[in-house]
Amino acid sequence: MEGKKYTIEELIHDKSFIDWTLSPCDKKGEAHGKWMLLHQKFPDHINEAQSIVKSIYSIKVSYSDSAKEKLWQRIKLSNLEHELKGEIHPKSMDISSHKSKDRKVVWSLFAAAAIAVFFAFQFSFQEPDKVVAPPVVTEIIKSNPAGQKSQVHLPDGSTVYLNAESELRYADNFALGKREVFLQGEAFFEVTKDINNPFSVRTDQLTTTALGTSFNINSYATEKEIEIALVTGKVLVQDNHDNSIHLSPGEKATVDRPSGTMEKGAFDANKTLLWKDGIIYFDKTNLIEAIKTLERWYNVDIKVNALPNKTLTCSGQFKKEYLNNVLNNLGFSLGFTYKIQNKNVMINFN
């Protein structure tokens, strides 16, 4: 037994040799003496086998015995492939058949092949003893307070125009597969086309899905309706009950929050889209709704004293105007005065 010339394959597959290599300080038992003796007789041979064992077992992954056995079988198959290609001769496993320089080349090839197979095995074989934790996904949040708007450039090249008092959330691995964002408030989306990865926008009650298109979503929690207006391309709008509507350019989907009823119709691009260009547009808009828009737009709190009736409407278009200019115009047509003090506005009807 002591005089036997083990091949490298036999050594790296021998449990006692592996234990001796990985725990050289354990001097108990016959195995220790046997491997020490062989090391004295064939130091280069044993050292090369130890190098391969240490290289393989230095990777901190634990496998069951059956998994390790399959690993060794794959190493053998890999060596066989090299033999068929003429890269390693079967007899090169015998230490006595090659010179020292040739042996180093042979075992370097063997070690590289074994380690390469180990890595391939690690990722393809599904029998680990330890469960690998999934990667941590970080959520990115872009938000605007009242009185502020912004542009958000997503990792896939899409652009989002985010309105005031609005929030956009998405994962940091957004561009690597699932293109999904979550919206509170209002935003206009210019979506980069990717037929293999649909783009989805989720609100509290709806999911809007597109491939490459542009559309506006108004989903403020304080408003009674959610509106999705399509400018270019096509989108699918689906509610939480699997009811869906396909939209073509110029069409909108409107959802009544209390009832959940979803309808399709045409939309006025001026009324719906001008906000992203800094334009406030009122067209027979209920004054109470107009005041909500002004509060959001200018980050103020507006109170109304002696409102004549709740059905009062207003009209007008204001491009990047100061609040007092907007109130001057509306006050002249509706017959009210106002007072601004810091972020508080009081409207008084005559």
Three-state SS annotation for the chain: CCCCCCCHHHHHHCHHHHHHHHCCCCCCCHHHHHHHHHHHHCHHHHHHHHHHHHHHHCCCCCECHHHHHHHHHHHHHHHHHHHHCCCCCHHHHCHHHCCHHHHHHHHHHHHHHHHHHHHHHHHHCCCECCCCCCCCCCEEEEEECCCCCEEEECCCCCEEEECCCEEEEEECCHHHCCEEEEEEEEEEEECCCCCCCCEEEECCCEEEEECCCEEEEEECCCCCEEEEEEEECCEEEEECCCCEEEECCCEEEEEECCCCCEEEEECCHHHHHHHHHCEEEEEEEEHHHHHHHHHHHHCCEEEEECCCCCCCEEEEEEECCCHHHHHHHHHHHHCEEEEEECCEEEEEEC
For residues 34 and 2, is the Cβ–Cβ distance under 8 A?
yes
**CA 129 to chain CA mean position, Å:** 28
Give the pLDDT of residue 136: 67
Q: Which domain holds residue 67?
A: 8-124
Task: Locate 221 and state its tokens.
Answer: 């929690």
Selection from 30, 2, 3 nearest residue 16 by Cα? 30
Residues 76 and 120 in one domain: yes
Residues 230 and 154 in one domain: yes
- pLDDT, tens digit, 9 for 90 and up, residues 64-77: 555 555 555 555 44
Residues 48 and 26 in one domain: yes
Residue 262 to residues 5, 226, 229, 268, 273, Cα–Cα distance (Å): 81, 9, 13, 18, 21
**The domain boundary residue, chosen from 65, 100, 124:** 124
d(CA 329, CA 316): 8
Residues 144 and 247 in one domain: yes
Whether residue 131 lies inside any domain: the answer is no
**The domain boundary residue, chosen from 247, 272, 297:** 272
Each of the 350 residues of the chain gets a pLDDT tens digit; together they read: 445 567 777 777 777 778 777 775 555 556 666 777 776 777 777 777 777 777 666 554 445 555 555 555 555 444 444 444 444 444 444 433 444 444 444 444 455 455 554 544 444 444 455 566 666 678 899 999 999 999 999 988 999 999 999 999 998 877 566 899 999 999 999 999 888 889 999 998 999 999 789 999 999 998 899 999 999 999 999 998 888 999 999 999 999 999 989 999 999 887 889 999 999 999 999 999 999 999 999 999 999 998 888 899 999 999 999 999 999 999 999 999 999 999 999 999 97
Residues 238 and 287 in one domain: no
- pLDDT, tens digit, 9 for 90 and up, residues 276-309: 999 999 999 999 999 999 999 999 999 999 888 8
Residues 286 and 260 in one domain: no
Considering the chain, what is the average pLDDT of its residues?
78
Please, is 1 exposed, middle or buried when counting C-beta atoms within 10 Å of its C-beta (0-12, 13-18, 19+)? exposed
Residues 47 and 93 in one domain: yes
Residues 156 and 264 in one domain: yes
Q: Which residue has the tokens 């691009």?
A: 269
**The domain boundary residue, chosen from 237, 272, 307:** 272
Give the pLDDT of residue 94: 42
For the chain, what is the domain count?
Answer: 3
CATH number at 197 reads 2.60.120.1440
Selection from 70, 79, 87 nearest residue 52 by Cα? 79
Give the pLDDT of residue 242: 84
Whether residue 87 lies inside any domain: the answer is yes
Residues 243 and 284 in one domain: no
Residues 102 and 157 in one domain: no
Residues 295 and 244 in one domain: no
Task: Locate 251 and state its tokens.
Answer: 């069409």
The structure's pTM equals 0.60
Whether residue 73 lies inside any domain: the answer is yes
CATH number at 287 reads 3.55.50.30
Give the pLDDT of residue 217: 96
d(CA 95, CA 92): 7
For residues 190 and 217, is the Cβ–Cβ distance under 8 A?
no
Residues 286 and 267 in one domain: no
